[in-house]
Structure 1
Amino acid sequence: MSQPASDHPDELPVVVTRLFKGVLCREADEKLWQTLGELSSHVQDYVSVLGLELFLDDTEGYAFLRSRDDSDLPRLVQRRQLTFNVSLLLALLRARLAEFDQRNDETRLVMTEAQLREMLAVFLPETSNEARMLDQLNTTIKKVVELGFLRRLRGQENSYEVARIIKAFVDAQWLEEFDARLADYRAQLVEGAEA
């Protein structure tokens, strides 16, 4: 008779290695997700030695490693400097997901590339060079896909699912800080228009 995985954490290196590579989603690998659930306390103990902590949201179905704020160790998980446009799109997606959750029983928010561009373009300065603006919008969307906050849907060209993990990264404090930067940006736009 086999022992439960939690009694023999032989799969611990597999789970931890996968978490070091990035976000683990339940829907992407159900078996590994189940193993993570069984070994979560072992994973937490293992990564805490490195100044990391396991962030696991069983309700939404994702987990990742992040640096502990109280650690004096060098950061293993790099912080990424985001451009204004990427930050703006993340804030808009987070707000759209909050609205979606309030109004729907469904769990998947799907948006088209055109909807994403339209949502973002409202906040960017007007320009006579539409091709450049379109390229800028597409680059921003591509970067958010690379960061894992948008997922292309198979078989549906130019459609994306908003990854629910955005809720863990774009929290109230992040939005408050971004609102302050957005206010500065709006002031600069007004000054530029008046000059």
Structure 2
Amino acid sequence: MSDEHAIGAAIIRLMQGVVYRESDEDTWLTLERSGGGVRDHFATVGVEVVIDDTEGYAYLRTRPEVEGEEALPRLVRRRALTYNLSLLLVLLRKRLLEFETSGSEGRLVLTREQIVEMLRVFLADSSNEARTVDQAERTITKAVELGFLRPLRGQRDHWEVRRILKAYVDAQTLSDFAGKLKQYAGAKSGTGGDDE
């Protein structure tokens, strides 16, 4: 395969979504060898290539606006996330952080029951268990569509939490969420949460 063809293939793969070193070695090698050509291509349309060598993923994001420069139209769409999906992503990111800080190696895999249980605490109080599970399953499906969860082959109702989540839910978001959780817990117990 020629360098030009390899760069073209890498550009297309990045436009399709997140590229993982473990599952797309050819594209990853092209990014390592010819990353400048790939970056130059996207720079002309106001997009930057983000490569996280430590975590093993690469993705596209809109280049931050530079003062005094005319902004280009957005190529990478922003996605409005529902409350349930936002909640799930933050809970998954928190779980991923706990997994990593515990010294566990490999990948974080969760079952449907574990994910439903994580969400149950925050979903609207409902005596209808089937409705709660259905709501959680729709949220899981959306997280899979967006690439934050990956179903495991041959293991029904098991998902790998993808590390790209770290790029979308940062430490500040986790800290803000922890404060909201504290308020929520206080409101549920009737203490108001601000007294501590």
TM over 0.5: yes
In 1, Cα distance between the equivalents of 2:159 and 2:99?
Answer: 15
Q: How does 1:52-131 map to 2 (within 5 A)?
A: 52-70=47-65, 72-131=71-130
Q: What is the aligned length?
A: 185
**CA-CA distance at 1:171 after TM superposition:** 0.9
List alignment gaps of at least 5 residues for structure 1. 1-6
91-100 vs 166-175, which moves further: 166-175
In 2, Cα distance between the equivalents of 1:175 and 1:184?
Answer: 14
Q: Name the structure 2 match of 1:139.
A: 138
Superposition TM-score, scaled by structure 1 size: 0.85
Q: In the alignment, residue 165 of structure 1 is paired with which amino acid?
A: I
In 2, Cα distance between the equivalents of 1:104 and 1:169?
Answer: 23
Q: Name the structure 1 match of 2:6.
A: 11
Supply the RMSD in Å over aligned alpha carbons: 2.4
In 1, Cα distance between the equivalents of 2:185 and 2:109?
Answer: 29
125-134 vs 179-188, which moves further: 179-188
Q: Name the structure 2 match of 1:3.
A: none
In 1, Cα distance between the equivalents of 2:48 and 2:96?
Answer: 26
111-120 vs 11-20, which moves further: 11-20
In 1, Cα distance between the equivalents of 2:52 and 2:38?
Answer: 14
- 1:189 to 1:102, Cα distance in 2 relative to 1, 3 A: closer
Q: How does 1:108-187 map to 2 (within 5 A)?
A: 108-176=107-175
Q: In the alignment, residue 32 of structure 1 is paired with which amino acid?
A: T
Q: Name the structure 2 match of 1:28.
A: 23
**CA-CA distance at 1:188 after TM superposition:** 9.1
**CA-CA distance at 1:128 after TM superposition:** 2.0
Kept after mapping to 2: 8 A contact 1:125/1:189: no
List alignment gaps of at least 5 residues for structure 2. 191-196
Q: Name the structure 1 match of 2:40.
A: 45
Structure 1 runs of 4+ aligned residues shifted over 6 Å read 180-191
In 2, Cα distance between the equivalents of 1:73 and 1:182?
Answer: 38
**CA-CA distance at 1:49 after TM superposition:** 0.7
In 2, Cα distance between the equivalents of 1:9 and 1:165?
Answer: 27
Q: In the alignment, residue 145 of structure 1 is paired with which amino acid?
A: V
Kept after mapping to 2: 8 A contact 1:152/1:158: yes
In 2, Cα distance between the equivalents of 1:68 and 1:55?
Answer: 10
- 1:153 to 1:122, Cα distance in 2 relative to 1, 3 A: same
Kept after mapping to 1: 8 A contact 2:94/2:174: no
Kept after mapping to 2: 8 A contact 1:101/1:107: no
Kept after mapping to 2: 8 A contact 1:24/1:62: yes
Superposition TM-score, scaled by structure 2 size: 0.85
Secondary structure (helix, strand or coil) at the match of 1:64 reads strand
**CA-CA distance at 1:31 after TM superposition:** 1.7
Kept after mapping to 2: 8 A contact 1:24/1:63: yes
- 1:131 to 1:77, Cα distance in 2 relative to 1, 3 A: same
Kept after mapping to 1: 8 A contact 2:13/2:27: no
**Cα shift readout 1:113-139 (whole Å, capped 9, x = no counterpart):** 100000111112211222211111110
Identical columns (%): 50
